[in-house]
């Protein structure tokens, strides 16, 4: 029987900006601590992402001494703000079809982001008393998420990326796909077969294959856009005109997970005729 271990953990504090690789994380009712708790919105309150602003890939994110630090890869200019900092001004925002009431962070961050992204925008924060529920078609106990596209976790196996890279002329990394959890062991796309698993007694449920958009064609180091890997994925990972890579998860329980933790109590799906359907 295959053994599986958690090999990488990533958080993305500000939706569509740079990731942070961490060795351990607190799993909360919303997902990983600090993951997608902030978001950049336009003048209408709609979220801005790399779909329309690929240059967002050039802004890195770090957390140090209870501060979020943003840095531009090309200019090295940076700005920071306190994790708990807000003006208490409420801003009505939208994440896809979900309306949420978020808190404005500060004017200095707005100005820095507006200059570097060449669009008038604001940084907003999701407070503890604001709830956003996952799609009821996939929920078990009215699970919530922060400002992710739809689910609190994204899982991808190392072998799945390796399989893709064997088909590409230029290898790519996980930064294209923005997973929270990466594991080693088993075979390519084993995650598609899983119905349930546990890490440190926290229960996880893969409920929906992740459909991919053009963001995965953006080089996260240069912000340049190419056809790949969407083009090659479309030849073997497509269904109903959508392309899938990775599994969206919901969960039950909280606690600490760490790189190196064993993935246990794996139960497989009963119907494996079309795992990406």
pLDDT in tens, 20-73: 999 999 999 999 999 999 999 999 999 999 999 999 999 999 999 999 999 999
Indicate whether 276 belongs to any domain: no
Instruction: Give residue 119's domain range.
Output: 38-125
Sequence-distant (≥ 6) Cβ neighbours of residue 3 within 8 angstroms = 185, 262
Residue with tokens 């991919």: 212
Residue 272 has pLDDT above 90, yes or no: no
Boundary (domain end) residue, out of 68, 98, 125 = 125
Indicate whether 275 belongs to any domain: no
Where residue 230 sits, what CATH number does that domain have? Answer: 2.40.33.20
Q: What is the dihedral of CA 23, 26, 32, 33, to 10 degrees?
A: -100
- Number of structural domains, the chain? 2
Sequence-distant (≥ 6) Cβ neighbours of residue 233 within 8 angstroms = 164, 212, 243, 245
Indicate whether 273 belongs to any domain: no
On whether both 14 and 149 belong to a single domain, the answer is yes
On whether both 153 and 258 belong to a single domain, the answer is yes
pTM of the model: 0.97
Indicate whether 277 belongs to any domain: no
Boundary (domain end) residue, out of 125, 149, 177 = 125
> pLDDT tier at 271 (50, 70, 90 boundaries)?
confident
Indicate whether 25 belongs to any domain: yes
Boundary (domain end) residue, out of 95, 125, 155 = 125
């Amino acid at each position: 029987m295959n053994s599986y271990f958690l090999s990488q953990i990533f958080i993305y504090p500000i939706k569509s900006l740079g990731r942070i690789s961490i060795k351990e994380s607190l799993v909360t009712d919303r997902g990983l601590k600090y993951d997608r708790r902030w978001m950049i919105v336009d003048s209408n309150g709609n979220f801005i992402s790399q779909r329309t602003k690929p240059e967002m890939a050039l802004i890195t994110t770090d957390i140090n001494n209870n501060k979020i630090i943003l840095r531009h890869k090309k200019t090295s200019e940076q700005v920071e703000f306190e994790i708990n900092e807000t003006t208490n001004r409420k801003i009505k925002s939208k994440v896809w079809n979900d309306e949420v009431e978020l808190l404005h962070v500060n004017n200095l961050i707005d100005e820095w982001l507006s200059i570097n992204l060449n669009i008038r925008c604001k940084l907003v924060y999701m407070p503890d008393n604001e709830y956003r529920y996952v799609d009821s078609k996939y929920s078990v106990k009215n699970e919530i998420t922060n400002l992710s596209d739809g689910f609190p976790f994204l899982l991808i196996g190392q072998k799945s990326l390796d399989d893709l890279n064997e088909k590409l002329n230029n290898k790519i990394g996980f930064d294209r796909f923005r997973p929270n959890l990466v594991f080693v062991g088993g075979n390519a796309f084993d995650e598609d077969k899983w119905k349930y698993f546990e890490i440190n007694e926290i229960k996880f449920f893969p409920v929906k294959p992740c459909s991919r958009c053009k963001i995965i064609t953006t080089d996260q180091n240069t912000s340049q856009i190419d056809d790949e890997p969407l083009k090659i994925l479309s030849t073997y990972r497509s269904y109903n005109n959508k392309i899938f890579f990775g599994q969206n998860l919901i969960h039950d329980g909280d606690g600490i997970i760490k790189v190196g933790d064993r993935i246990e109590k794996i139960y497989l799906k009963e119907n494996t005729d079309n795992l990406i359907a």
